[in-house]
């Protein structure tokens, strides 16, 4: 794989569904707690290089009381300059202001992590590609509900719509 340099100031790390109830789920091939730590470490690196960190969580529309555990997991509290996007579908783009926020910041590259690989992460990645962003998938910063589903997305789907990286490879590319 050829690793290119990425302008951190034009890159957004989009972390999908790192909510308390999701991080408590059994995931594979990576345990959710490990994914959370990888995402937080990657977010720190992106911030330190001047990139944007976006935390995405979901809420059910039309419901007065959201299900327990819908808040961002501990450590995912958006810091200064970070964004929090609330979605009501699998994709972080549909029905939200994510695209407008990224374009206002001149972001051209979206790197993705979160839980679950085949739901929110894949759906958001497909939409990022359709919106014209260079799309990166950080395979160790995401996990699925089943290893087979995660592996299918990371080996078959993601290479067709973007570039597959580990979080360390991604961090190495940021300038």
79-97 pLDDT tens trace = 999 999 999 999 999 999 9
pLDDT, position 131: 98
Token duo for residue 48: 């330190």
Mapped onto helix, strand or coil, the DSSP state of residue 91 is coil
Task: List pLDDT tens digits, range 143-168.
Answer: 999 999 999 999 999 999 999 999 99
Quote the tokens at residue 35: 């994914």
Neighbours of 107 (CB within 10 A): 22
- Given a cut of 80, whether residue 2 has pLDDT beyond it is no
Alpha helices, DSSP H, located in the chain: 20-23, 32-48, 98-104, 122-130, 147-152, 158-161, 167-173
Written as six digits, the tokens of 93 are: 């783009």
User: DSSP letter at 116?
Assistant: -
State the pLDDT confidence band at 132, using cuts at 50, 70 and 90.
very high
The CA radius of gyration of the chain, in Å to the nearest whole number, is 15
Strands 11-16 and 163-165: unpaired
d(CA 76, CA 164): 23
β partners of residue 86: 57
Tell me how long the chain is. Answer: 175
Q: What pLDDT shows up at residue 3?
A: 56
Task: Assess contact for 27 and 145: CB atoms under 8 A.
Answer: yes
Task: Give me the mean pLDDT over the 14-35 stretch.
Answer: 97
CATH numbers and ranges of domains, the chain: 8-61+72-173 (3.40.50.850)
% of the chain surpassing 70 pLDDT: 98
Cα(149)–Cα(18) distance, rounded to whole angstroms? 19
Is-cis flag, bond preceding 29, omega within 30? yes
């Amino acid at each position: 794989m050829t690793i290119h340099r990425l302008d951190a100031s034009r890159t957004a790390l989009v972390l999908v569904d790192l909510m308390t109830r999701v991080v408590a789920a059994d995931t594979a091939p990576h345990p959710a707690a490990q994914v959370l730590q990888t995402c937080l470490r990657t977010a720190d690196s992106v911030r330190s290089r001047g990139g944007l960190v976006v935390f995405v969580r979901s809420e059910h529309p039309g419901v007065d009381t959201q299900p327990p555990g819908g808040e961002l997991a501990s450590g995912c509290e958006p810091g200064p300059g970070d964004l929090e996007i609330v979605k009501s579908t699998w994709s972080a783009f549909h029905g939200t202001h994510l695209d407008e926020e990224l374009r206002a910041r001149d972001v051209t590259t979206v790197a993705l992590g979160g839980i679950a690989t085949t739901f929110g992460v894949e759906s958001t990645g497909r939409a990022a590609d359709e919106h014209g962003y260079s799309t990166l998938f950080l395979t160790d910063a995401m996990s699925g509900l089943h290893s087979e589903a995660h592996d299918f997305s990371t080996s078959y789907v993601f290479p067709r719509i973007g570039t597959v990286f580990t979080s360390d490879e991604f961090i190495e590319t940021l300038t």
